[in-house]
Amino acid sequence: MFQKHLIPNAQDLPEGKALTLKIEDYDFLVTRQKGEIVAYENRCPHQNKPLHWSEQEVVADEDYLKCHHHGALFSPLDGTCVTGPCQGSHLKKATVGIEQGNCYLLLA
Ligand code: FES
């Protein structure tokens, strides 16, 4: 059984950009990649910290999600750390569902 949480403004998220979303005690990163919405838990595998310093900070550039603590770069397509102190580890992917044009995080 999943709990469904609306991702506000996901339809307006530009290609390659990311937003952060807090649901209860959990932080998520939501990004649009190749037209699809992809979400990860916002926890760097290096030190288990959110990737960004502040809510306003953009955490994605055109190619990577970046952890601003020690510079790890993650593939936005599958969450793999491609360089940095946790190279080879992964962001934990979250399940995204679409219903009637709205995007939702589906949490177990
Ligand atoms: S906490 Fe992310 S690179 Fe160190």
Rounded distance from Cα 5 to ligand 1 centre (Å) = 27
CA distance 101 to 73: 31
Structural domain boundaries, residue 100: 3-107
**Across residues 4-11, what is the average pLDDT?**
92
Count of domains forming the chain: 1
What is the CATH classification number for the domain harbouring 56? 2.102.10.10
Which of 27, 69, 81 maximizes ligand 1 atoms within 8 Å of its Cβ, making it the mutation to test the pocket? Answer: 69
Q: Is the dihedral of CA 73, 71, 41, 31 positive or negative?
A: negative
**If you take atom 3 of ligand 1, which residue's CA is the nearest one?**
70
Q: State pLDDT tens for residues 16-60.
A: 888 889 998 899 999 888 899 999 999 999 999 999 866 545 556
Rounded distance from Cα 56 to ligand 1 centre (Å) = 19
Residue-level pLDDT at 61: 59
Gyration radius of the chain over CA positions: 13
CA distance 88 to 5: 30
